[in-house]
Amino acid sequence: MINFKDDVEAVDALSKVYIDFTNEIGKVIYGQKDVIKEVLITIFSGGHTLLVGVPGLAKTLLVNTIAQILGLNYKRIQFTPDLMPSDIIGTEILDENRQFKFIKGPIFANIILADEINRTPPKTQAALLEAMQEKSVTTAGVSYKLEEPFYVLATQNPIEQEGTYPLPEAQLDRFMFNVYLDYPELEDEIEIVKNTTSGVTNTVNNIISAEEIIFFQKLIRRVPINDNVLRYAVDLATKTRPKTKYAHPFTDKYLNWGAGPRASQYLVVAAKTHAVLNGKYSPDIEDIKAVALPILRHRIVKNYRAEAEGLTVEMIIKELLK
Instruction: Give residue 163's pLDDT.
Output: 66
**pLDDT score, position 26:** 87
227-231, 301-305, 309-313: range with highest mean pLDDT: 227-231
pLDDT band at 43 (very low <50, low <70, confident <90, very high): very high
Instruction: Taking residues 11-24, report their average pLDDT.
Output: 92
Average pLDDT value for residue range 89-96: 83
Please give the pLDDT value at position 160.
Answer: 66
Average pLDDT score, the chain: 89
**Which pLDDT value is given to residue 168?**
75
Per-residue pLDDT band for 109 (boundaries 50, 70, 90) equals: very high
At 155-194, the pLDDT tens digits run 888 776 666 788 877 778 889 999 998 888 888 889 888 8
Q: CA-to-CA distance for 61 and 151, rounded, in angstroms?
A: 16
Q: Which of 21-25, 126-130, 205-209, 286-290 has the lowest mean pLDDT?
A: 126-130
**Using 50, 70 and 90 to split pLDDT, how confident is the model at 94?**
confident
pLDDT band at 106 (very low <50, low <70, confident <90, very high): very high
Residue ranges of domains in the chain: 7-197+205-210, 223-321
**Paired sense of beta strands 90-94 and 100-104, if any:** antiparallel
Nearest to 300 by CA among 275, 321, 322: 321
Interval 41-58 mean pLDDT: 90
Task: Say yes or no: do domains 7-197+205-210 and 223-321 share a fold.
Answer: no
Strand partners, 177: 49
The dihedral sign for the CA sequence 320, 267, 75, 69: positive
Largest CA distance in the chain: 68
Confidence of residue 151 (pLDDT cuts 50, 70, 90): very high
The answer to whether the Cα torsion of 191, 193, 199, 202 is positive or negative is positive
> Tell me, which fold does domain 7-197+205-210 have in CATH?
Rossmann fold (3.40.50)
CATH 3.50.50.60 fits 223-321, yes or no: no
* Pairing mode of beta strands 136-139, 142-145: antiparallel
CA 70 to chain centre: 15
- pLDDT exceeds cutoff 70 at 288: yes
Q: What is the structure's pLDDT at 229?
A: 96
274: pLDDT strictly greater than 80: yes
Q: Provide mean pLDDT across the span 244-272.
A: 93
Provide, rounded to the nearest whole percent, the portion of the chain with pLDDT above 90: 55
